[in-house]
Amino acid sequence: MSTANPTQPKSTGGGILHVDETSMRTNKVEQVSSLLISIAVMLAFAVGMLFLLFLLSMNWTRTLPMELEAERIAGRGDNAAGFERDFDPPAADEVEQLSEPALEQTIQMVNDAIAAIASMDTIIANDAIAGDRSGQGDSRPPGPEGEGVDGVHRGERWELKFSARDRKAYAGQLDAFGIELAAIGGGIPTIDYASTLAKAPKARSSTRDQEKRLFFSYVTNNALMQYDKALLQAAGVNTKERTVLKFIPKELEDTLALAEKAHYVEKRSKDFRVSDIAKTIFECKATKNGKFEWAVIDQRYRNKNPSVK
């Protein structure tokens, strides 16, 4: 039986349990790649945190589109101003429904009429003193005839301003929104229009009963009024002793109405009441892309307290 010599050196040859320590050392390529991976992970984490902060900072409240309701403003039209409302005459079908009263009712009516003769003299005398010859008039405010709330009509309530440096730029703003200039009166029964004002002004005419659009006129003479007259004359429209008007399309009218309502809701009250507004001033401004847009620059109110209806 042989025994191992303890003084004999151990074999350094390959074996099952032999491990080469040099193969476990990291080289420079692995160190650089690990560093790049770490940097990429940190960058991805930073970008993710920034994106999360961006999402948290956004206002996710859904803004409902503002609805435009039909505006109904009371106006007396061509009726005379007054403090009450005259009774309307009965219609033909209402007259047919009336029947002749019975004999007893007729006698009673005669007695009532006799008793009222004395008071009638007093009423007639009072009317003569007051100068009332045509009834009590119409208590509704100025504006197109109609029933509705006590407010100011858009034609009187709105004021349109144009930031134009010359007549050509002004004409371009009118064309951008499809606004037509017109002249009425002066002994001419028609309304004479001018359109495509910036390039080649064109004229057309129509009767007054055919026109339903909203229009604006100048109260005092100014530079824009002179521009309007010059543009109408360029289209061959006679403006001598005639009133110059601006007719705006229905699409632009709705756009201005929404802008007016949005300004009211933001500055005054969420409960929009058109009867509170005395004046809304719009201005046409150029945008960065060369187009034009309308903005409310001022709004004045009839009631100081928004809670007062």
When mean pLDDT is compared across 16-25, 54-63, 162-171, 282-291, the lowest value belongs to 16-25
Residue 46 has pLDDT above 70, yes or no: yes
pLDDT above 90 as % of the chain: 39
How many CA atoms does the CB half-sphere of 41 hold within 13 Å? 6
pTM exceeds 0.85, yes or no: no
What does the domain layout of the chain look like in residue ranges?
70-150, 154-301
pLDDT in tens, 209-239: 889 899 998 878 888 999 999 999 999 999 9
Higher local confidence (pLDDT), 55 or 6: 55
The DSSP symbol for 287 reads -
pLDDT the model gives residue 163: 84
The strand pairing partners of 83, in sequence order, are none
Residue 158 has pLDDT above 70, yes or no: yes
- Cα–Cα distance, 285 to 173 (Å, whole number): 9
- Residue 74 CA: distances (Å) to CA of 82, 145, 299: 14, 7, 21
DSSP SS3 for 282: strand
In the predicted model, what is the mean pLDDT of residues 300-305? Answer: 76
pLDDT the model gives residue 30: 77
Higher local confidence (pLDDT), 196 or 34: 196
- Cα–Cα distance, 2 to 226 (Å, whole number): 131
Exposure pattern of 121-148 as b/e (b: 16+ CB <10 Å)?
Answer: eeeeeeeeeeeeeeeebbebeebeeeeb
User: E strands within 196-306?
Assistant: 202-206, 214-217, 243-248, 277-286, 292-301
Decide if 193 contacts 252 (C-beta within 8 A): no
DSSP string for 53-117: HHHHHS--PPPPPPP-PPP-B-B-TTSPB-SSBPPPPPPHHHHHT--PPPHHHHHHHHHHHHHTH
- Return all residues near 227 (Cβ < 8 A) that are at least 6 apart: 167, 170, 171
Q: How crowded is residue 190: how many other Cβ atoms within 10 Å of its Cβ?
A: 14
Decide if 115 contacts 174 (C-beta within 8 A): no
pLDDT the model gives residue 64: 47
pLDDT tier at 5, thresholds 50, 70, 90: low
